[in-house]
A and B are shown apart, each in its own frame.
Chain A
Amino acid sequence: MTAPFFFWFFAAIVVFGAVGVVAMRQPVHSALFLLLSFFGVAALFITLNAEFLAAVQVLVYAGGIMVLFLFTIMLVNIRRTAGQPYVHRQAGAALLVAFFLLAVVGGTIVASSRTSGLADAPADPAKLSTTTISRMMTETVDGKTVKTPVTEQVAGNSQAVAWGLYRDYLLPFEVASVFLLVAMIGAVVLGKRTMEHVD
């Protein structure tokens, strides 16, 4: 099995990148480590056959969100952070809480997926890379319109995502567009210095 090797390889990259983000003094370096982490996550999605999510990870996160991060870094005055102490006063307590949370949540998830057999059940990659479409086919037989149910297999992860997103998840999808509209309004309302009219 090569899959576990790729999982550990890319998981190591993700964790290495994440540690780099918090360990670097220069915010730009942190951002570059974050980029590495994003690419690692994208690779992990590919090993899980979630190719569409991998594309989203690269396009939106590594492409869009990263631009926002870099702009933010350029907007703030970096010089002022230069003399600040490297480790925050609460770092010890924060580390303790974080490890406690990791132990409880991680421990429970690992232990209970072992006992319930979820860990042993292999994920079915075919489920993500093909989708079964059942629909009514309309034909004209002997001058009459006949409707027959047909089932077909469509290959591809993006196709499977589309079939779920645009049919079962129609309502959240349309509400999401209103959400994006509000995001745009918010950006203009809060980010624009003056509100004027274009005539």
Chain B
Amino acid sequence: MNPSMASYLPILYFAIMAAIIPVAGLAAMSLLRPSKPTPTKLAPYECGVASPTEAFDHRFSVRYYLIAVLFVVFDVETIFLFPWAVMYHRLKLFGLVEMLVFLAILVVGYVYAWRRGALSWA
């Protein structure tokens, strides 16, 4: 194993711990607790508020979807900014100009979405 991969080991340990703790907790509870279910106990419960007894089944507004798609587009754009930023001082003016061109094209899209009212809820 090479050294750069070794630096990821803490993340792996963390992931394993994160998986073990809830499983262990649930297992321990099922061993320790008495099991006397009543309909009231089995009802969904959320922070003291009486939860709706039926599953959520009405559809979301399609407007959420437009926002989500625009989010993904800007998400991808951000990904392109990251490697550019870490090499900014070596790419120099050339890198700055090419990123400005890249962003200018996306600003066209942003202005377009804004003018078409895609960013407002109404």
The reply to whether chain A is a binding partner of chain B is yes
A residues whose Cβ falls under 8 Å from a Cβ of B: 1-3, 6, 46-47, 49, 51-52, 55-56, 59-60, 63-65, 67-68, 71-72, 74-79, 125, 129, 133, 135, 154, 156, 158-159, 161-163, 165-167, 170, 173-174, 176-178, 180-181, 183-185, 187-188, 191-193, 195-198
Q: Complex formed: what's the CA distance from A72 to B68 in Å?
A: 10
Closest 10 CB pairs of A and B: A162-B83, A162-B87, A184-B109, A191-B66, A187-B69, A64-B75, A64-B72, A74-B60, A181-B109, A177-B105
> Is there a chain A Cβ closer than 8 Å to B45's Cβ?
no
The reply to whether B117 and A60 contact each other, CB–CB distance below 8 Å, is no
- Write the B21-55 contact mask toward A (1 if CB under 8 angstroms, else 0): 00000000000000000000000000000000000
| A60 adjacent to B87 (CB under 8 Å) | no
A75 adjacent to B60 (CB under 8 Å): yes
Binding site secondary structure of chain B: helix
- For the residues of A in contact with B, the DSSP-based class is helix
Do A173 and B83 have beta carbons less than 8 Å apart?
no
Given A184-B73, A191-B69; A156-B109 close (CB under 8 Å): no
Flag if B113 contacts A184 (CB, 8 Å): yes
For the complex, give the distance between the alpha carbons of A77 and B8 in Å. 41
- Complex Cα distance, B6 from A129, in Å, reads 14
A71 touches B60 (CB 8 A): yes
* B108 CB-CB contact with A under 8 Å: yes
Q: Which of B8, B69, B83, B101 contacts A68 (CB 8 A)?
A: B69
B75 x A162 contact (CB < 8 A): no
Instruction: Specify the chain B residue showing the minimal Cβ separation from A157.
Output: B4
In the complex where A125-B2, A158-B86 touch, is A71 in contact with B116 (Cβ < 8 A)? no
What is the total number of residues of chain B having a CB less than 8 Å from a CB of chain A?
51
Is A196's CB under 8 angstroms from B5's CB? no
Q: How many Å from the CB of A176 to the closest CB on chain B? A: 8
Residues of B near any A CB (own CB < 8 A) = 1-2, 4-5, 8, 57, 59-60, 62, 64-66, 68-73, 75-80, 82-84, 86-87, 90-91, 94-95, 98-99, 101-103, 105-106, 108-110, 112-118, 120
Chain A residues lying within 8 Å of B78, measured Cβ to Cβ, are 59
For B76, the chain A residues whose CB sits under 8 A away are 60, 64, 180
Shortest B98–chain A CB gap in Å is 6
Q: Which of A6, A49, A156, A167 is B86 in contact with, Cβ under 8 Å?
A: A156
Pairwise interchain contact A184-B98, C-beta atoms closer than 8 A: no
14 extra A-B contacts, CB within 8 A, seeds A46-B5, A74-B64, A165-B80: A2-B1, A46-B8, A49-B5, A68-B69, A77-B57, A129-B4, A159-B87, A163-B87, A163-B90, A166-B84, A173-B98, A180-B109, A184-B106, A198-B114
